[in-house]
Structure 1
Amino acid sequence: MNSSKAQAKVPLTGAQETLLATLYGRAIDSRSKRPVLGDQTAVDAVRRIDHDFSKVRINAGDAGAVALRGRQLDEWTAQFLATHEQATVVHLGCGLDNRVHRLDPGPGVRWFDIDYPEVIDLRRQLYPERPGWTGIPASVTDPGWTASLPSDRPTMIVAEGLLMYLTEADGTALLRRLMAHAPSGELAFDAFSPFAIRAQRINRVVTDAGATLHWGTTPAGIARLSPRLELLETLSALQIPGRERLPAGYRMMARVAGLVPPVRNMARMYHCRLHPEAAGVAG
């Protein structure tokens, strides 16, 4: 689609390219009669990106599911910020998600979006910068960037559509490194099960991008990451509140799939609390 603004080039391949599918899903949702997330900035970004989105195989049901996942992470992050006016948000593998603008945190919040340099550069072309926001151009698995984060304030760690692309060693090291750096806070993210990793060939977004999934885990596996970590809530991606807004055919499919435990648990949302070390547990 044409735009009065210059189109942004997209130098992305493999797992990075999947962020375009997520963006496109949010744009489709925003155009629907009953949007779940209603992120108009996704529509604007799709218009400005030099990419053939007609090749992205996402239907209205898939788009609604993407929007539901984003909205759930928004809600958990907003709840945290409502009780922590002086806080840090660390958005891992942010891609082209515009969560910082959707939530519009107050002046006491320092927000860090972390992704590859080419992704952060693309974000700067698409979205206006704002006070309190910092883009960190780095691989999330590079331990060096963690030192640039504040270590004296409650921290919200958010990851969407990221952890399954990391190896288990890299993913657990990343989360443990961040938890050791933060004095307290919360984590909100989605993760796949081991069964979902074995069945990744049926995931169109992954196969279309030529990407590979690596890490599959369970609620018990997440709980073992740190003795400071408390699992507050976990829910199947098929059972996220608000699914009544999805197309009828997709809701029916989700209900049927939800009857089969391995399928119901392929993708889950996690909301955890990170207790301070002063509580008497080692980090």
Structure 2
Amino acid sequence: MTGIERVDLRGAAATMLMTLYMRKIDARSRRPILGDPYAENVYARIDHDVHGLWQFTGDVSTIACRAAVLDRWTTEFLATESHGQVLHLGCGLDSRPLRVDVPSSTRWIDVDQSGVMDVRRRLYAFPEHVVQVPASVTDDDWWDAVDPGRPTLVVAEGLFPYLPPDGVHDLVDRVVQRTRRAELAFDAVAPWTATASRWTPALRAAGTEFAWSWNPADFAHRHPGLRERDDVSIFDEVALREPRLWLRPLLATAGHLPAMQDSMRVHRFTTG
């Protein structure tokens, strides 16, 4: 991977730079949580206009734990469904298909906006069975690339909170309707977290904020065919894996507050 890529993205797409920056910081830690081996080299190749990334250093453990949980679930799926299919939605500059070592028998589809995918292709060298699809995840046309007969894992990291509620539910409906058997893994934030995002200076400066928050009753009502397999509090994960050991007891104590428990959770649903 050589050369410098100019990236000037605003709105939700700018979060890919924030996430990459935090993964770089985690990788440099003495006790990395995710330990993304690609983050630092890829970040070093980007010339961008998103300022104040240092303001997100407090979220490094949160973002690393979220990715680590989703990597674990992806690895579990690939171990049992090596001839299956993974739909990596809103993939941004994530190295997940390289981190989890996708078998050549697996169909892996990365999906994100065309501008993001142009940069992604230049920054990473993915194997041929990792397909890059430039499209909005809420569009219908890109589903023509999906094999409906394969067992499917849908991974949506850092995506659903930025979509309008109808966009989230329509996308989930497509997963149910367009696949014979699927797992759906995604993160969601509490309503108070979404409200706080609208008053966070760094997020406002980047032109991005959360639009959708988790309402379990509403989700169950809208998608009665889904069964929840896992529900993980990222705050709990951070309390266990925070690299700064002195901070773990404080986080564990704060974790007794329901609001902190629910600030960000990662869910895994199945269609069967």
Normalising by the smaller structure, the TM-score range is over 0.9
Unaligned 5+ residue runs, structure 2?
none
Name 1:127's counterpart in structure 2. Answer: 124
* Contact 1:61–1:246 (8 Å) recurs in 2: no
- Asked if the contact 1:187/1:273 (under 8 Å) is kept, the reply is yes
- For residue 211 of structure 1, give the secondary structure of its aligned residue in structure 2: coil
Q: Distance in 2 between matches of 1:128 and 1:180?
A: 32
The verdict on how the C-alpha distance between 1:33 and 1:197 changes in structure 2, with shifts beyond 3 A counting, is same
Of the candidates 234, 237, 242, which is equivalent to residue 234 of structure 2?
237
- What's the counterpart of residue 170 of structure 1? 167
Aligned pairs for 1:270-281 within 5 A: 270-275=267-272
- 42, 47, 66: which is aligned to 1:45? 42
Q: CA deviation at 1:205?
A: 5.1
For 1:30 and 1:39, locate their aligned partners in 2 and report how far apart those are by CA, in whole Å: 6
TM-superposed CA distance for 1:222, in Å, is 3.2
Could you tell me which amino acid in structure 1 is paired with residue 209 of structure 2? T
2:19 corresponds to 1:22? yes
Aligned to 1:150: 147
Q: Name the CA distance, whole Å, in 2 between partners of 1:205 and 1:76.
A: 31
- Return structure 1 stretches of 4+ with deviation > 6 angstroms: none
Matched, 1:262 2:240: no
Give the Å deviation of 1:257.
3.5
Confirm or deny: 8 A CA contact 1:26 1:66 kept in the other structure. Answer: yes
**1:11 Cα shift?**
2.9
Give secondary structure in 2 for the equivalent of 1:120.
helix
Partner residue in 2 for 1:281: none
| Residue of 87, 90, 94 corresponding to 2:87 | 90
Query: Could you say which residue in structure 1 is the equivalent of 2:138?
Result: 141
Paired residue type of 2:137: V
Structure 1 gaps of 5+ residues are 276-283
Counterpart position of 1:75: 72
Q: CA deviation at 1:256?
A: 4.2
Moved more, 218-227 or 150-159: 218-227
- Mapped contact 2:227–2:271 kept (Cα < 8 A): yes
**Residue 204 (structure 1) shift:** 5.6
Q: Residue in 2 aligned with 1:206?
A: 203
Quick one: percent identity of the two aligned structures? 37
Distance in 1 separating the partners of 2:94 and 2:132:
12
